[in-house]
Amino acid sequence: MILFRYVSREILATFFAVASVLLLIVVSNSLAHYLSRAAAGSLDPSVLFWILLYRIPASLEIIFPLSLFLAVLLGVGRMYMDSEVAVLFATGTSLKRLSRWILTPALVIAAAVGCITFYVGPAGLQAANTVFDEQRSRSEVDRLIPGRFMNIGGGSGVVYTESVGEGRLGRVFVASAEKDEQAFVILAPSAHEEQLAENRYIVLNDGVRFDVTPGELGGRELRFDAHGILIPQADIEEKESKLKIWSTMELWDAGEREHMAVLHYRLSLTIMVPIITLLAIGFGRSNPRSGRFAKVIPGILIFLLYFSLITAAQSAIEDGQIPTWLGMWWIHISFATLAWWLLTSDEREMKKSGGGVEHAPD
């Protein structure tokens, strides 16, 4: 029991450390992206925290398996390098028993991954999509920040205003210049937004418009009581694909190829956890002279190959190239066989040489 707690603590400590670093990288990258969108006025800064929070579970679907794989790979490698495994074997502990000790926390993590991928992750993505829908429905006027030049609707025009309040703008400057087309500048003491049919306009009041043509001298001055400018449709954010946010029961009830492909993908993320754990144990076994990190790169390549095959199989199932009854089981069986081959390599070598090692009963 003491040895089991020691091995579990070694694996879990590394797992949480690696997962924290990977999660920090993912969140930092997402935060930088959404901050740039908020600075451009596409997103309200007050919703950034919620968007990041809702999308974290979907990231953990991959972060947890990868973190566990690296934790076992590094943990087992350190134990071999420090000759701790040799001491365990000398006292009667078999590789089979050591693998069971490592698999115990791995199964707990597999259960967590299953809960995330089947329930928490899709719910989080659905909540994030709801926030994006709310941001998309916001008025363009509400997105403007006083005292800053801002783009409107992703077009070429920029708007500057000194004040924003109750759907109205105060002291407005508008400029637009398409390549090889007429450019204009508009000044107005006030403006507001109006919608006609499916189009939205910023209507400027009691202002003046200056039209100029690039490369030509002079221009035209036009004073107006009301002047409307079409607002291009803004691309707030690409939402997650519809099937990603479907609940597990909705996918199961639909039952089409594309729905079953997503179910197979979610199930595979859970099944792969114990398999990559055994793979990491096999790859982590090394000679003390080779160093702790000798097999990290080959191990990561194997993990990436495993995950790439899962994503490729999902597309193949959607396209009908792989039957739904077969799914991704052939991938799991292949990598489980590879794990078994790695774990039994020493035993096969001993049998060939006619030797053997006796261990305490498991």
pLDDT at 254: 84
Better pLDDT: 323 or 149: 323
Q: Could you identify the residue written with the tokens 């990491």? A: 280
- 53-110 residue pLDDT tens: 999 999 999 999 999 999 999 888 888 777 777 787 777 777 788 888 899 999 999 9
The residues that bridge with 211 in the sheet, in sequence order, are 184, 220
- Full-model pTM: 0.75
Instruction: Please list, in sequence order, all residues whose beta carbon lies within 8 angstroms of the beta carbon of residue 321, skipping any fewer than 6 positions away.
Output: none
- List b or e across 294-330, with b for residues whose CB sees 16 or more CB atoms inside 10 angstroms: bbbeebeebbeebbebbeebbebbbeeebebeebbee
Cα separations in angstroms, 227 against 140, 148, 182, 186, 208: 16, 22, 17, 9, 9
Cα three-residue angle 254-256-259, rounded to 5 degrees: 75
Q: Is the dihedral of CA 17, 22, 25, 31 positive or negative?
A: negative
How confident is the model at residue 112, as a pLDDT? 94
The stretch 251-258 carries a mean pLDDT of 85
3-state helix, strand, coil in the chain (%, to 5): 60, 15, 25
Tens digit of pLDDT for each residue in 171-230? 888 887 665 567 888 888 888 877 777 777 888 888 898 888 776 777 788 888 888 877
pLDDT band at 162 (very low <50, low <70, confident <90, very high): confident
Rounded Cα–Cα distance for residues 76 and 82 (Å): 10
Q: Supply the pLDDT for residue 327.
A: 87
Reported confidence tier of residue 20, pLDDT bands at 50, 70, 90: very high
CB half-sphere exposure, 347, CA atoms < 13 A: 11
Q: 163 or 108: which carries more pLDDT confidence?
A: 108
Q: How is residue 32 written in tokens?
A: 């930088």
Q: What is the mean pLDDT of residues 126-136?
A: 83
pLDDT of residue 91: 77
pLDDT in tens, 337-358: 998 988 887 666 656 655 554 4
Give the residue with greater pLDDT, 192 vs 151.
Answer: 192
